[in-house]
């Protein structure tokens, strides 16, 4: 069972307000103490495309590395790999997509072109002794192309394995997948590849992130990407909100009888370190009465635990019309 905390990268890449480097370092140091196995620290991408993470090298240089935690970096090309190696990343992640349109918008390359770029990246990472993860973005739905056939995502995953990645993260970039779609894709993929080489990466736009985690878990997946507080989104995927919240993923896996080994109290402390810098409206908040709602640290406090009526008063409508909690915002 491994939680990959992607908040410092997937979360902070999407924040409009500048987050001081110092605050990122404190945030990552706090996350290191939560028990998560891996932290995606930052990305060595073009600072013109993602200015929010232009301090990746300094962040890597100044975090307090804890034994047993893997500190990884997102890299789109050889230049990114050079940056990650210089910064002493433990692992690198390359990223492509099952949707041509999204891939062009995200990394200015077709899917085929992205693989041409990745070959020397994987070879260079292997020479440097670094494991490589490969993301398959828009594995279910794309903001531009709509529904993506599972076969398209699987073909991309298989190509990633062919070029030498050790792990693939199947990603619901815009947070629109349903549990049935998750199961269908995994039922086609897992006969070809062992579940211990597959991670899932859910965004929570429609409040189904936790259900999707359980769906993937039921198929044998044990590597879950998540972002503390549900931070994040992709700047190049319009409408997408944050990742499924780490707190909620831990709670929902524990409710399945798993020992996750991540301390939710310390997670909440880590998240609060960012409070002064986040614009509340940009945060992804759980759907009322969802597992994420039950896992919320406010759930047992008056005014929220008082039940659906007061929860309703504190909610706003999500993109699918469902009620999304704003209690955390109101109580902060």
* Calpha distance 296→314 (Å, rounded): 14
User: Which two three-digit tokens encode residue 293?
Assistant: 């709602």
**Min separation Cβ 108 and ligand HMG, Å:** 4
**Contact (Cβ atoms closer than 8 angstroms) between residue 187 and residue 198:** no
Q: Which of these, 266, 277, 332, 275, lies nearest to 29 by C-alpha position? A: 266
Residue 77 binding result from ligand HMG, Mg ion, none, given CB thresholds of 5 to 8 Å by partner type: ligand HMG
Torsion angle defined by CA atoms of residues 298, 40, 142 and 280, in that order, rounded to the nearest 10 degrees: 30
Beta strands 141-142 and 223-226: pairing type? unpaired
Residues from 5 through 34 that contact Mg ion (CB under 5 A): 10
296 is catalytic: no
Residues 6+ apart with CB under 8 A from 112: none
Q: Which of these, 137, 157, 156, 139, lies nearest to 148 by C-alpha position? A: 139
Catalytic entry in 142, 234, 296, 325:
234
Q: How many residues bind ligand HMG (CB under 6 A)?
A: 24
Residues from 62 through 81 that contact ligand HMG (CB under 6 A): 76-77, 79-80
Burial group, residue 297, by CB count within 10 angstroms (0-12, 13-18, 19+): middle
**Min separation Cβ 135 and ligand HMG, Å:** 4
Residue 13 binding result from Mg ion, ligand HMG, none, given CB thresholds of 5 to 8 Å by partner type: ligand HMG
50 binds ligand HMG (CB under 6 A): yes
Window 15-44: contact mask with ligand HMG (x via CB under 6 A): ----------------------------xx
Q: Which is nearer to Mg ion, 7 or 35 (CB)?
A: 7
**Contact (Cβ atoms closer than 8 angstroms) between residue 92 and residue 121:** yes
Residues from 300 through 329 that contact ligand HMG (CB under 6 A): none
**Min separation Cβ 180 and ligand HMG, Å:** 20
Please list the active-site residues.
234
Q: Which residues contribute to the site for ligand HMG (CB under 6 A)?
A: 10, 13, 43-46, 49-50, 76-77, 79-80, 95, 106-108, 135, 137, 171, 173, 201, 203, 234, 236
């Amino acid at each position: 069972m491994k939680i990959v905390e992607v908040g410092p990268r997937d979360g902070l890449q999407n924040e409009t307000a500048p987050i001081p480097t110092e605050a990122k370092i404190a945030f990552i140091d706090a996350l290191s103490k939560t028990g998560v196995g891996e932290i995606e620290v930052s990305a060595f991408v073009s600072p013109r495309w993602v200015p929010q993470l232009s301090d990746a090298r300094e962040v890597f240089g100044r975090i307090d590395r804890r034994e047993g935690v893997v500190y990884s970096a997102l890299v789109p090309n050889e230049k990114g790999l050079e940056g990650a190696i210089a910064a002493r990343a433990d692992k690198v992640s390359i990223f492509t997509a099952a949707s041509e349109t999204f891939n062009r918008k995200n990394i200015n390359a077709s899917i085929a072109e992205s693989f041409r770029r990745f070959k020397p990246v994987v070879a260079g990472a292997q020479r440097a002794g670094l494991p490589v993860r490969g993301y398959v973005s828009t594995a279910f739905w794309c903001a531009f192309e709509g529904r993506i056939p599972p076969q398209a995502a699987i073909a991309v995953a298989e190509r990633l394995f062919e070029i030498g990645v050790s792990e693939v993260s199947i990603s619901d970039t815009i947070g629109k997948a349903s549990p049935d779609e998750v199961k269908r894709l995994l039922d086609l993929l897992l006969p070809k590849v062992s579940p211990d080489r597959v991670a899932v990466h859910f965004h929570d736009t429609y409040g189904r992130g936790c259900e999707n985690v359980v769906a993937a878990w039921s198929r044998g997946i044990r590597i879950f990407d998540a972002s503390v507080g549900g931070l994040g989104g992709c700047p190049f995927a319009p409408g997408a909100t944050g990742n499924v919240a780490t707190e909620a993923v831990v709670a929902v896996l524990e409710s399945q009888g798993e020992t996750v080994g991540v301390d939710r109290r310390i997670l909440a402390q880590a998240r609060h370190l960012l409070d002064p810098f986040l614009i509340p409206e940009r945060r992804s908040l759980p759907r009322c009465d969802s597992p994420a709602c039950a896992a919320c640290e406010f759930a047992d406090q008056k005014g929220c635990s008082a039940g659906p009526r007061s929860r309703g008063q504190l909610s706003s409508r999500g993109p699918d019309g469902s009620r999304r909690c704003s209690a955390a915002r109101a109580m902060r």
